[in-house]
Amino acid sequence: MPSAPGGPRLLLRRLREIMAEPVGAQDRLDKIVILIAANMVAEVCSVYVMRGDGVLELFATEGLNREAVHLTTMRAGEGLVGQIAATAEPLALSDAQSHPAFSYKPETGEEIYHAFLGVPLLRAGNTLGVLVVQNRTYRVYTEEEIEALQTTAMVLAEMLASGELQALAPVETGIALRRPVHQKGLALADGVGLGHVVLHEPRVVVKNLIAENVEAELKRLEDAIAEVRATIDELIERGDVAHHGEHREVLETFRMFAHDQGWLRRMREAVTSGLTAEAAVERVQSDNRARMMRQTDPYLRERLHDLDDLANRLLHRLVGRDLVAGHGLLPDNAILVARSMGPAALLDYDRSRLRGLVLEEGGPTSHIAIVARALGIPAVGEVENVTSLAEQGDAIIVDGAAGEVQIRPNPDVEAAYAEKARLRAKRQEQYLKLRDVPAVTKDGVEVTLQLNAGLLVDLPHLAETGAAGVGLFRTELQFMIAERMPSASEQQSLYSAVYAAAGDLPVTFRTLDIGGDKILPYMQAVEEENPALGWRAIRIGLDRPGLLRAQVRALLKAASGRPLKIMFPMVATCNEFVRAKALVERERTHLANHGHPLPSDLKLGVMLEIPSLLFQLREICTLADFVSVGSNDLMQFLFAIDRENRRVADRFDPLSAPMLRALKHVAEEARAANCQATICGEIGGRPLEAMALIGLGFRALSMSPAAIGPVKAMLLELQAGKVAELIRDELEHDGGGDTLRPKLLRFAETHGIPV
């Protein structure tokens, strides 16, 4: 078996010389294939480059017909080369032609070659092309040779990334590295943002690939590994994170990988073959990323992500940079791209420069999504591999309504979105004109439109939208974005600040709604089979009255001399509400006894989110000052559909008879008892649903800030009496569980109501 003259180290050194030569791109590539063929003792060496249209094109060859260069093409998946591109894995065969995927391209004249070794050109897990060597004989390529060709491929991938080969590709396609990518994800926060990628945790771009001194590089690698290991050990041993389940688990996984012999060996081998320490980490990481992008098992994917994180730490250590982006250096029109991100991290960025947020993880009820909505930043979550597909500074568009992302968009796509953004801005202007118009229907029904909020950053929306107050202040958000449990005085100062920001407008504070999907990272998690039905919200409040008492006291103190409205989440029985009321009463007495100024008026309400309360309406309406329907949870429990589970979350329509009847019952009983009934779930903010709610008799809706304009525009054109009649008839005569949506839509259309 022929052995490589000089081995990979010599090859890398020669490659570096060729890279530095002042020649054109094609000449350089031609020299490189000759060099590789000679070094690998192969008759053929070819480079196929992935074009922007996903087709692989022969860019250079030694050994095959030169005429085939820039003529021979294949799709990803087609032939052996296409297969390597599709799987992102090397392929070594002693007889290529007997392989079922072999696809014969007569113009290349390759029929005389038998042995075949191909490796993908990978960068950050993306396949940019394929590098192939072929031999006439039926030879077997050794592990070392495969490894050496992969190392060489890395240098070629960097050449591609530098943009040098762009000019050799057809103008209309370019090379894949810069191709436009359209990704679908999950809509998290409405709005359209156009801008440039800012990676929250920027990848280290390894510039120095080829080692001057292999021994010194090996030592750098070992030192960096030892340092990273020590940091992980230290983090694990440090008390403050030691008990928080998930966090600890991730660190334990890190520790396991940091000692993984296979991983370490591959990096050491890459250095021995002539790469710098950072290039070796990158080389192994790139393979790992390629696997990650193709892995469908969520558990294995998560582990590959962990390994990727660890490699990132190592890279940062080697090139000596901090892990987090310099927040001060945001360009204008920044679109943040991250795998995941905590809400506190988002708040650290300069809001005035942020145009959007794209995440690989993060569902609609994640904390980051809540904060993005509060800040009015268009956001899309669950965008697969976006941190690998997008490069720092790339043009990018976030469509937070459709849940889509366009990376490096074509000019026509960009123009279409710019138009969309302009139209939205125009519509917003029109809504702004409605700001001071009273929310009264055509037939004179007044509807109170309020905001849902949870952070101080939400409060400026009051003035912007002309909302009549805050109908739901989710107090748990302050707890969810904090590093540790907010103290009583921190709570009080937030509530005081909310009062100050709301001016004369009323605010309804909801007590802590934690548990279920709302997890406090610093609170010991309770293992539950079914957290949505578990120990949460008012249940925790009543079982651990210390927490609820402290919050109620903070609210009472913050109100000092002003009216206060408090409501309790997830109430299932009248008795729970009675106990919560008693707790508030005790706190009020306590403060009064200590000479504190009390609220000028105190109203206590329940959230109706659990169906059991539908069957205690008469009683609860006499006990409570108001009832606020949390339709998000009421839908979840009425239809037994997990609101977080995309498979089922949209399976049933809130505009179907069961939900509408439940809501009608609430409106009627509340009116009979002279108890105010409001809606504060998402349905109140959708114009068609809001129209139905008004028809059912609701006169107060609380919604996200962006919904106020559209809902007001709808009700200004509405005859409340007419829609009430339609719904009454439908629910009486047809209520087989079908949705009333089409009929309501037709009604809106015929009456010129914008929904």
Binding at 631: pick from ligand PEP, Mg ion, none (beta carbon under 5-8 Å per type): ligand PEP
513 touching ligand PEP, by CB under 6 A: yes
To the nearest 10 degrees (0 to 180), the angle between helices 214-237 and 298-319 is 120
536 touching ligand PEP, by CB under 6 A: no
Candidates 665, 659, 663; CA nearest to 741 is 659
CB 245 within 8 A of CB 522: no
CB 96 within 8 A of CB 79: no
Largest CA distance in the chain: 99
CB-wise, 570 or 715, nearer to Mg ion? 570
From candidates 158, 382, 633, 669, binder to Mg ion by CB under 5 A: 633
Part of the chain binding Mg ion (CB under 5 A), chosen from 157-165, 282-290, 386-394, 604-612:
604-612
Rounded Cα gap, residues 151 and 154, in angstroms? 5
From candidates 355, 474, 565, 664, binder to ligand PEP by CB under 6 A: 474
Choosing from 114, 200, 316, 367, the catalytic residue is 367
Binding mask 433-472 for ligand PEP (x = CB under 6 A): ---------------------------------------x
Part of the chain binding ligand PEP (CB under 6 A), chosen from 118-126, 154-162, 586-594, 628-636:
628-636
CB 202 within 8 A of CB 337: no
Cα 642 to the chain's mean position, in Å?
20
Candidates 604, 649, 601, 661; CA nearest to 628 is 604
Choosing from 574, 621, 675, 680, the catalytic residue is 680
Part of the chain binding Mg ion (CB under 5 A), chosen from 19-27, 51-59, 571-579, 601-609:
601-609
Cβ-based neighbours of 734, under 8 Å, separated by 6 or more: 657
Backbone angles phi, psi at 88, to 5 degrees: 60, 30
366 touching ligand PEP, by CB under 6 A: no
Give me the sheet containing 334-338, strands edge to edge.
Answer: 181-184, 404-407, 395-399, 192-199, 334-338, 354-359, 379-381, 186-189
Rounded Cα gap, residues 284 and 158, in angstroms? 15
599 touching ligand PEP, by CB under 6 A: no
Torsion-angle region of 119 (φ positive above 0: left; ψ -120 to 50: alpha; else: beta): beta
From candidates 210, 670, 680, 720, binder to ligand PEP by CB under 6 A: 680
Minimum CB distance to ligand PEP, residue 346 (Å)? 19
Cβ-based neighbours of 6, under 8 Å, separated by 6 or more: 39
Cβ-based neighbours of 644, under 8 Å, separated by 6 or more: 363, 365, 517
* Bridge pairing between strands 404-407 and 448-453: unpaired
CB-wise, 609 or 689, nearer to Mg ion? 609
CB-wise, 391 or 476, nearer to Mg ion? 476
Cβ-based neighbours of 219, under 8 Å, separated by 6 or more: none
609 touching ligand PEP, by CB under 6 A: yes
How many amino acids of this chain bind Mg ion (CB under 5 A)? 3
CB-wise, 33 or 680, nearer to ligand PEP? 680
Rounded Cα gap, residues 694 and 692, in angstroms? 5
From candidates 654, 681, 685, 695, binder to ligand PEP by CB under 6 A: 681
From candidates 73, 166, 231, 632, binder to ligand PEP by CB under 6 A: 632
Runs of H (alpha helix) within 398-481: 411-434, 460-465, 476-480
- Output the six-digit token pair for 232: 């992980």
CB-wise, 290 or 659, nearer to ligand PEP? 659
CB-wise, 290 or 604, nearer to Mg ion? 604
Part of the chain binding Mg ion (CB under 5 A), chosen from 268-276, 352-360, 633-641, 664-672:
633-641
Taking CB under 6 A as the criterion, which residues in 396-425 touch ligand PEP? none
DSSP letter (8 states) at residue 180: -
Candidates 303, 392, 382; CA nearest to 124 is 392
CB-wise, 364 or 695, nearer to ligand PEP? 364
* Bridge pairing between strands 55-62 and 73-75: antiparallel
Candidates 225, 226, 236; CA nearest to 314 is 225
Angle 155-160-166 from CA coordinates, rounded to 5°: 160
Minimum CB distance to Mg ion, residue 494 (Å)? 20
CB-wise, 409 or 471, nearer to ligand PEP? 471
CB-wise, 57 or 633, nearer to ligand PEP? 633
Minimum CB distance to Mg ion, residue 688 (Å)? 22
From candidates 469, 471, 521, 630, binder to ligand PEP by CB under 6 A: 630
Cβ-based neighbours of 165, under 8 Å, separated by 6 or more: 25, 29, 49, 59, 159, 175
Cβ-based neighbours of 425, under 8 Å, separated by 6 or more: none
Catalytic residue at 367?
Answer: yes
Part of the chain binding ligand PEP (CB under 6 A), chosen from 1-9, 572-580, 630-638, 662-670:
630-638
Torsion-angle region of 241 (φ positive above 0: left; ψ -120 to 50: alpha; else: beta): alpha
Minimum CB distance to ligand PEP, residue 631 (Å)? 5
Rounded Cα gap, residues 160 and 177, in angstroms? 8
Minimum CB distance to ligand PEP, residue 683 (Å)? 8
How far CA 259 is from CA of 231, 461, 628, in Å, comes to: 13, 51, 54
CB-wise, 387 or 628, nearer to Mg ion? 628
Binding at 474: pick from ligand PEP, Mg ion, none (beta carbon under 5-8 Å per type): ligand PEP
Part of the chain binding ligand PEP (CB under 6 A), chosen from 286-294, 349-357, 631-639, 664-672:
631-639
Rounded Cα gap, residues 257 and 102, in angstroms? 37
190 touching ligand PEP, by CB under 6 A: no
How many amino acids of this chain bind ligand PEP (CB under 6 A)? 10
Rounded Cα gap, residues 95 and 85, in angstroms? 19
Binding at 681: pick from Mg ion, ligand PEP, none (beta carbon under 5-8 Å per type): ligand PEP
274 touching ligand PEP, by CB under 6 A: no
- Output the six-digit token pair for 71: 């003529």
Part of the chain binding Mg ion (CB under 5 A), chosen from 154-162, 475-483, 624-632, 664-672:
624-632
Angle 137-84-33 from CA coordinates, rounded to 5°: 55
Binding at 678: pick from ligand PEP, Mg ion, none (beta carbon under 5-8 Å per type): none
Candidates 723, 668, 728, 713; CA nearest to 443 is 723
Residue type, 536: R
Part of the chain binding ligand PEP (CB under 6 A), chosen from 132-140, 247-255, 443-451, 629-637:
629-637
Minimum CB distance to ligand PEP, residue 633 (Å)? 3
CB-wise, 158 or 513, nearer to ligand PEP? 513
Catalytic residue at 621?
Answer: no
DSSP letter (8 states) at residue 527: P
From candidates 127, 387, 631, 704, binder to ligand PEP by CB under 6 A: 631
CB-wise, 129 or 541, nearer to Mg ion? 541
From candidates 145, 633, 669, 689, binder to ligand PEP by CB under 6 A: 633
Minimum CB distance to Mg ion, residue 454 (Å)? 12
Candidates 591, 623, 587, 590; CA nearest to 608 is 623
Binding at 145: pick from ligand PEP, Mg ion, none (beta carbon under 5-8 Å per type): none
DSSP letter (8 states) at residue 682: G
Part of the chain binding Mg ion (CB under 5 A), chosen from 108-116, 549-557, 598-606, 608-616:
608-616
From candidates 82, 471, 605, 630, binder to Mg ion by CB under 5 A: 630
Contact residues for ligand PEP (CB under 6 A)?
A: 472, 474, 513, 609, 630-633, 680-681
Contact residues for Mg ion (CB under 5 A)?
A: 609, 630, 633
| Catalytic positions | 367, 680
